[in-house]
Structure 1
């Protein structure tokens, strides 16, 4: 019996190739999108799920609130908190400290063996490995990180530093790490690499006790409660039954006891626990973090695409149910039960979904290639994993029931006597099928219109912000990172070498780029009559050539800043400090960093960060020990590829052990809106799919419904109706549906766009004309599809259609 069901179902599908093709194409797209998003989501939630008692592990974060809505969450904590947390807060079973290093040079001491710079180096205390236990290949986990200058390396570092060596053979070997100073360490342990997905990217663990002198503790910012650095991270493992909320509450008296700034009211600080399971969606160590909002958006888009494909199926099947009424009547007459009929029609649906699912596997691989840059790093799909097998076993069955049950109920409900007479709908009676088809069509069209509106407005806003003047020259400016705490004389030597090149217009040194995502803020004391007023400002560390190289207009004074007691400010600073003009600000002394500094120049306002933010009061200071970037302005009409190669060659002549990589400033600025561009492109792809699926459904539905009205069209032609009248008669119903769809689509599109645009300080006004253009575009597509079918039907010879009447 079951074999016959599927045999008949297969024959029915082959008999209606157009209908079957539309269903398979639409459903395979929806299933492929859902399967890919399912794997992206499960991959994102798989990080660090393997640690024992992971539900009791938390990272302590800091929230600094400066008032006026300026609050900054930070994954770091003050150094002293690590010393007192177990004594002052009950319920903590274990604590572990990391101090992560960045761009650290790794080498063998007293040799020429240099392994380059690495971001997988960290200071760690023994408690870290108690919270996150590892398999030890060599060394004693209890004592490996107790003594200063001890080092635990991972298996991958073992193979990198000592190819072919066994773990036990490298114990006692020396490795040098160059950060602010040279750190000479001895290997005391080797641990196995994690095989599971993890955000802990570290392969070199230096004992935290290595930081022991007052100078070192001060340098790393571990000496005071007011110093919060994202490199200084603290993990805790709670006792069983202890809630994180109780720990968060216990932080309050500890803060009141130790943080004076809190009492002075300059800012407020609070600590809070972040579950290990949430760390992947916050501040992580590598570039693997992902936004939960973005993931939810992907899920939402995937469901919309699948729903549109499902609606296509339901819509077309309920419309075609009329043509199968006689089949139902005959089956019921010869003894077929309603249950058998439902099962027969569900078997057809299951075959369509099964073929669609197999086709979707190929589409998934194509989507992976198409969206490679949007997928997580090292993302792969294990098609034979338990979750994916469950998806491919359960999803077709579930989709069959959801998609096929209503058409099956409609088809199996026909009265055999009326069906065999050819009666489809009772005259004057409400038709649920017609009502449902119209409403499902409205849902499809409104989704397409909403997607088009979103894509048009997002693209319009991004083009607007990227075309705005930034207040500096970003073209033909290249930059590279300098070694951390490099010798100032070496940096000046590099700058001089660049300035000697004919292709270089100018070179400068700075702590950061003229426009970047980094933010250094501070407080200055501006004299007001006989008192001082505090002003929150942004700080940039630059040299005397920085303003000229980046083409920032100078309003007053000079930009030759080369003393630590001299500063430059921007026009916004002049205004908020109460000076009437840039000239008045020159020579004024203000309090900064517990010293008095003098304003020697005023520059025009420029966007030092993304256009989402307003321009802040800005202070340029001179502190050459902390320069981190070299910026080079090229002359016009240069061969950029050759210039880049030459600059890197000069860089390596000064820093032979470094990695020279010059990038263009305008490319860095474009990355400010990388996430927005991703959203726009994903929405654009979803928009194209929504339109395609809607067009497929509309094509199938209109071809069928117009075929049902062929006799009506022929009679009207015989009675003298023109082609235009016939086209308008058939199209007006669809015009009404598009109009209703437009009204429905406008509200969710406006809500999303208004919220997104409000995140930009520089933004366009809501472009309502684009809303109208989206509606007109969908109407044009709709009328084109319906018009073609109507035109073909109207060209049929009425004599052939009416010969049997």
Structure 2
């Protein structure tokens, strides 16, 4: 019996090739999107799920609340908290500490072999490997990280630093790590690397006890409770039955005991336990993290595309139900039951879904290539994983039931006494089938209109912000990172070498770029009459050439900042400080960093952050020890590729062990809106798919419904109706549907866009003309499809159509 169901289903698919093509193409697009998103989501939730007792492991985070200034979560904790947490907080079974390092130079001192800079080096205490156990290839896990200058390396580092050596042979070997100082550490253990997805990217673990002198502790910011650095990470393993909420509550008296005297009521600090399962969705150690909001958006988009494809199927099947009335009538006459008929039609739907799933797998590979840069790093699809096998087994059945059950009920309920026109119940002139078809069409069209509005407004806003003047000259400016805590003499030597080049207009040194996502804040006390006014400000560390290199207009005074007791400020600083003019500000002494400093110049306001934020009061200070960037302004009409190569050659002459990489400032600024561009492009792709699916459904539906009205059209022609009258008559219904769809689409699109636009300090007003253009565009597409079918029908000879009447 089952074999017969599928045999008949196959014949029906072959008999109605256009209908089958529309169904398979539409459903395959929906299945492909859902399959890809399903794998992206399962990949994202698979990180660090292999650790023993993972549900009891938490990372302690810090939350600093500045009141109206906002609250700022930080994955780091003060150093003293890691010292006392297990003694002061009950219910903690174990603790593990990390202090992550950035761009650390690694070398073998006995051979002078340099391996370059690495972000995979960290300080770790013995408790870390107790919470996150690994397979030990050599060394004693109980003692490997106890003594200062001890080092545990991964199997990957073993092959990198000591190629061809066995794990036991490298114990006692010495490696040098250059950060703020040189650390000579001896290998005391070798561990196997993780094979599963993990956010712990580290391969070199230096014992935490290496940080032991007062100078080191203070340098790493581990000396007091007010120093919160994201590099200082604290993990805990809770005892059985202990909730993270109870731990969060226990932090309050600990904070009151140790931090009350430090805060002075200016801000509030709290600690909270973040589950290990959530770590992948917050900033961590590499580029592996992913936004949960973005993931949820992907899921939402995938469901919309799938729902559109299912609605397309239901709409077309119910509309064409009348074409199978004789088949159903004959089956019922010879004794077919309703259950058998439902099974037959569901088998046909299932076969279409199977073909769609097979085609979808080909689409998945194409979409992966198209959106490779949007997918997680090293993302691959294991088509035979248990999750995907479950998808293959369950998804087609689920979609078959959802998309096929209503058409099957319609067809199996056929009453031979009247023609079945896609209706289950008829009361007067009301048809449930027609009513449902119109509503399904409205849902499809409204989704398409909403997507078009979103994409067009996002594109409009992004074009607007990227075309706004930033207050500085970003053209032909290149930059590169300097080695951390580099010798100031070497930095000046590099700057001088750049200034000697004919292609270079000027070079400067700074702690950050002129516009960056990083933020250094502090406060300044400005004298006002007999009192002082406190300002919360942004700070940038620059040299005397910085203003010139970046083309920032100087409004008063001098830009030649070359002393620690001199500062430059911007216009916003002058306004908030209460000076009557910029000239009055020049020469004024203010208190900054517990020292008296003098304002020597005022620069024009410029956007030192993204255009999402307003311009802050800004202070330029001079501290060459902490310069981290070299900025080069090129002369006009330079060959940029040649200039880049020459700058990198000079850089390597001064820093032979570094990896020189110069980038363009304007390209870096464009990255500020990378997430917004990603959202726009994903929505644009979804928009294209929504329009394609809607057009496929509209094409099939209009083809069928106009075929049903061929006799009506012929009679109207015989009675003298013109082509324009016939086209208007048929198109009027679809124009009404598009109008209703537009009204439905406007509200969710406006809600999302208003919220998104409010995130920009510099934004466009809500562009209502784009809303209207999107509605008119969909109406034009709809009328084009319906018009073509109507025109073909109107050109048919009425004599052929009406010859049987």
TM bucket normalised to smaller = over 0.9
Partner residue of 2:250? Answer: 250
Query: How many equivalent pairs are there?
Result: 805
CA contact (8 A) 1:107 1:115 kept: yes
Partner residue of 1:133? Answer: 133
Q: Secondary structure at the match of 1:508?
A: strand
Partner residue of 2:628? Answer: 628
C-alpha offsets along residues 149-192 of structure 1, whole Å, 9 cap, x if unaligned?
00000000000001111100000000000000100000000000
2:365 pairs with 1:365: yes
Partner residue of 1:566? Answer: 566
Distance in 2 between residues matched to 1:106 and 1:147, nearest whole Å: 20
Partner residue of 2:413? Answer: 413
Q: Secondary structure at the match of 2:567?
A: strand
Partner residue of 2:446? Answer: 446
Residue 420 of structure 1, CA deviation? 9.9
C-alpha offsets along residues 639-678 of structure 1, whole Å, 9 cap, x if unaligned?
0000000000000000000000000000110000000000
2:724 pairs with 1:724: yes
C-alpha offsets along residues 53-99 of structure 1, whole Å, 9 cap, x if unaligned?
11111111111122214221111111111111111111111111100
Q: Secondary structure at the match of 1:68?
A: helix
Distance in 1 between residues matched to 2:575 and 2:760, nearest whole Å: 23
In structure 2, the CA distance between the partners of 1:773 and 1:148, relative to structure 1 (3 Å rule), is: same
Distance in 1 between residues matched to 2:620 and 2:425, nearest whole Å: 80
CA contact (8 A) 1:329 1:420 kept: no
Residue 594 of structure 1, CA deviation? 1.0
Residue 422 of structure 1, CA deviation? 13
2:227 pairs with 1:227: yes
Residue 562 of structure 1, CA deviation? 0.5
Query: Where does 1:623-662 land on structure 2 (aligned, <5 Å)?
Result: 623-662=623-662
Query: Where does 1:357-396 land on structure 2 (aligned, <5 Å)?
Result: 357-396=357-396
Distance in 1 between residues matched to 2:608 and 2:110, nearest whole Å: 43
2:496 pairs with 1:496: yes
Residue 419 of structure 1, CA deviation? 4.7
Partner residue of 2:783? Answer: 783
Distance in 2 between residues matched to 1:166 and 1:496, nearest whole Å: 47
CA contact (8 A) 2:426 2:432 kept: no
Partner residue of 2:49? Answer: 49
Residue 430 of structure 1, CA deviation? 2.1
Residue 423 of structure 1, CA deviation? 12
The alignment's C-alpha RMSD in Å is 1.3
**TM-score between both structures, scaled by the size of structure 2:** 0.99
Distance in 1 between residues matched to 2:262 and 2:742, nearest whole Å: 53
Query: Where does 1:230-309 land on structure 2 (aligned, <5 Å)?
Result: 230-260=230-260, 263-309=263-309
Partner residue of 2:758? Answer: 758
Runs of at least 5 residues in structure 2 that lack an aligned partner in the other structure: none
**TM-score between both structures, scaled by the size of structure 1:** 0.99
Distance in 2 between residues matched to 1:427 and 1:154, nearest whole Å: 76
Query: Where does 1:141-152 land on structure 2 (aligned, <5 Å)?
Result: 141-152=141-152
CA contact (8 A) 2:424 2:432 kept: no
Partner residue of 2:199? Answer: 199
Residue 528 of structure 1, CA deviation? 1.6
CA contact (8 A) 1:261 1:267 kept: no
Residue 265 of structure 1, CA deviation? 1.1
Residue 112 of structure 1, CA deviation? 2.5
Partner residue of 1:183? Answer: 183
Query: Where does 1:315-714 land on structure 2 (aligned, <5 Å)?
Result: 315-419=315-419, 428-714=428-714
Q: Secondary structure at the match of 2:237?
A: strand
CA contact (8 A) 2:422 2:434 kept: no
Partner residue of 2:155? Answer: 155
Partner residue of 1:122? Answer: 122
Distance in 2 between residues matched to 1:364 and 1:155, nearest whole Å: 35
Deviates more, 1:513-522 or 1:421-430: 421-430
Distance in 1 between residues matched to 2:80 and 2:421, nearest whole Å: 89
Partner residue of 2:211? Answer: 211
C-alpha offsets along residues 574-621 of structure 1, whole Å, 9 cap, x if unaligned?
110111111100111111111111100110000001100111110000
In structure 2, the CA distance between the partners of 1:201 and 1:266, relative to structure 1 (3 Å rule), is: same
Q: Secondary structure at the match of 2:527?
A: strand
C-alpha offsets along residues 324-350 of structure 1, whole Å, 9 cap, x if unaligned?
111111110011111111111111101
Q: Secondary structure at the match of 2:117?
A: strand
Residue 262 of structure 1, CA deviation? 5.2
CA contact (8 A) 1:78 1:226 kept: yes
C-alpha offsets along residues 393-438 of structure 1, whole Å, 9 cap, x if unaligned?
1000010000000000000001124359999996934211100000
C-alpha offsets along residues 526-575 of structure 1, whole Å, 9 cap, x if unaligned?
11222212111000000000000000000110010110011101100011
Partner residue of 1:715? Answer: 715
